[in-house]
Amino acid sequence: MPDNCLVSLSDIHVHFPVQKNWLGQVKSTAHVLNGIDLDVDAGETLGIVGESGCGKSTLAQVLMGLLQPVRGSVSWQTAGAKPTIQIVFQDPQSSLDPRLPVWKVITEPIHIQGGHSRGQLRQIAADLAVQVGLREEYLDRYPHEFSGGQRQRIAIARALAPNPDIIVLDEPTSALDISVQAQILNLLNDLQKARNLSYILISHNVSVIKHMSKRIAVMYLGQIVELGHTSDILQKPAHPYTELLLDAVPDMTGSLAMKGPVDLPELPGNRHLPSGCFFYDRCHYRDEKGCHLAQPLRRLSAEQEIRWVRCYKNIYENSIRAVSTEVGV
Ligand SMILES: Nc1ncnc2c1ncn2[C@@H]1O[C@H](COP(=O)(O)OP(=O)(O)OP(=O)(O)O)[C@@H](O)[C@H]1O
Ligand code: SF4
Ligand SMILES: [Mg+2]
């Protein structure tokens, strides 16, 4: 494991039994994660993109230790000293306990661990409130008394309380007004610099990913199909699915909406996985030569960049996007 790496996921598989017969026997299985390999480095923001249902939140749950993979391993930087990992959800309304005043909401994760007096917890809440831009006098109010943006600040303070190394941000701004989104993203960037935090940023919004992440992982049907530096991938996608995602039209909020039903078959289910390339049914570039084979994540050979792609064809070299840029279209 490289020195800078905090946690490394290797060949992670997660399955859920989805149907049982009257004897309680499993009749069908959802294959939600299907061989995820991923390193998270100290102080980085790793963006995770992909359609609804591709397994982004499930991956977060594996990292948080809330789900045990059926296969594969999660290795932390130092054996026995697992970095602390916290999560911030999309909807702070439902993730904050409405019965608790804000100072208790913020300090709940460390209160559970024990060892702090009430006065100490209150002081910790006051310090964190300042760091996330909330006034100290708000600490005795209840979550419903705040705006969406303020509630997300409370959720961020709460995630910071156990002094984590990694925070998973699962669509952290998608429930917020556009003007508030930018404030929250800037706050997250400032906190990252001040605390050398790593973020795993799950988002449908390409402009959010572009603003925040140096690297992105593109997920499809529980696999990473492309991994590399954000600027490289946004400029020249190398996997047909990434190309499709980037061609999708952003809606009014800047979120990605798929291009629509135009020659795009329905997302295949995860009950019966394809034996060859998972993207075969929807791929404009498919052929009968190599696409029927399972596709490993291969390193793309290109100068000065690190890129991994799960496709045996190199559409990067023939990228329509790149060609049209060159001819100035
Ligand atoms: N406990 C479970 N039992 C069965 N299927 C599950 C379970 N949890 C998740 N799934 C399935 O796993 C797939 C991935 O779910 P997940 O929530 O990780 O997707 P996601 O990429 O986060 O989607 P979204 O963008 O909508 O949040 C979905 O098809 C979901 O229905
Ligand atoms: S392997 Fe074939 S079907 Fe799969 S993404 Fe590449 S070109 Fe498309
Ligand atoms: Mg999700």
Find the distance separating the first CA and the last CA of the chain, reported in whole Å.
Answer: 44
CA 73 to chain centre: 19
Are 87 and 168 in contact by the 8 Å Cβ rule? The answer is: yes
Each residue of 119-145: pLDDT tens digit? 999 999 999 999 999 999 999 999 999
Phi, psi of 153, deg, nearest 5:
-65, -40
Residue 31 lies in a domain: no
Determine if ligand 1 sits within 6 Å of the CB of residue 29: no
Looking at residue 314, its pLDDT comes to 73
Residue 285 lies in a domain: yes
207-216, 297-306, 315-324: the lowest-pLDDT one? 315-324
Residue of higher predicted confidence among 79 and 312 = 312
Residue 6 lies in a domain: no
> In the structure encoding, which two tokens stand for residue 295, read together?
């596709």
Q: 52 CA distance to ligand 3 centroid (A)? A: 7
How are beta strands 85-88 and 166-170 bridged, if at all?
A: parallel
Look at residue 329 and tell me whether its pLDDT is greater than 50: no
Which residue, 113, 129, 164, sits at the end of a domain? 164
Looking at residue 250, its pLDDT comes to 53
Instruction: Report the pLDDT averaged over residues 274-298.
Output: 93
Cβ density class 184-194: b for 16+ within 10 Å, e for less: bbebbeebbee
Residue 30 lies in a domain: no
Q: 57 CA distance to ligand 3 centroid (A)? A: 4
Are 275 and 292 in contact by the 8 Å Cβ rule? The answer is: yes
Look at residue 316 and tell me whether its pLDDT is greater than 80: no
Residue 316 lies in a domain: yes
Residue 177 lies in a domain: no
Are 13 and 70 in contact by the 8 Å Cβ rule? The answer is: yes
Look at residue 301 and tell me whether its pLDDT is greater than 90: no
Q: What is the 8-class DSSP label of residue 125? A: H
CB neighbours of 263 closer than 8 A, spacing ≥ 6? 284
96-100, 123-127, 197-201, 300-304: the lowest-pLDDT one? 300-304
Looking at ligand 1, which atom is closest to the CA of residue 61?
A: 18
Nearest one of 48, 45, 6, 39 to 214, comparing CA atoms: 45
Say if residue 58 is exposed, middle or buried (CB neighbours under 10 Å; 0-12, 13-18, 19+): buried
Residue-averaged pLDDT of the chain: 87
Domain span at residue 141?
Answer: 95-164
Which residue, 164, 181, 215, sits at the end of a domain? 164
Determine if ligand 1 sits within 6 Å of the CB of residue 45: no
> In the structure encoding, which two tokens stand for residue 180, read together?
């508030």
Are 172 and 184 in contact by the 8 Å Cβ rule? The answer is: yes
Each residue of 100-119: pLDDT tens digit? 999 999 999 999 888 999 99
Nearest one of 9, 4, 28 to 219, comparing CA atoms: 9
The packing angle between helices 178-195 and 148-160, to 10°, is 20
Three-class DSSP category at 321? helix
Nearest CA to ligand 1 atom 9: 58
Residue 106 lies in a domain: yes
Q: What is the spatial distance between Cα 257 and Cα 316, in angstroms, rounded to a whole number?
A: 23
Which residue, 164, 183, 202, sits at the end of a domain? 164
Residue 263's pLDDT band (boundaries 50, 70, 90)? very low
Looking at residue 258, its pLDDT comes to 47
Instruction: Report the pLDDT averaged over residues 6-18.
Output: 94
Q: Which ligand is nearest to the CA of 217?
A: 1
Residue 172 lies in a domain: no
Provide the number of structural domains found in the chain.
2
Instruction: Report the pLDDT averaged over residues 156-161.
Output: 98
Same structural domain, 153 and 237: no
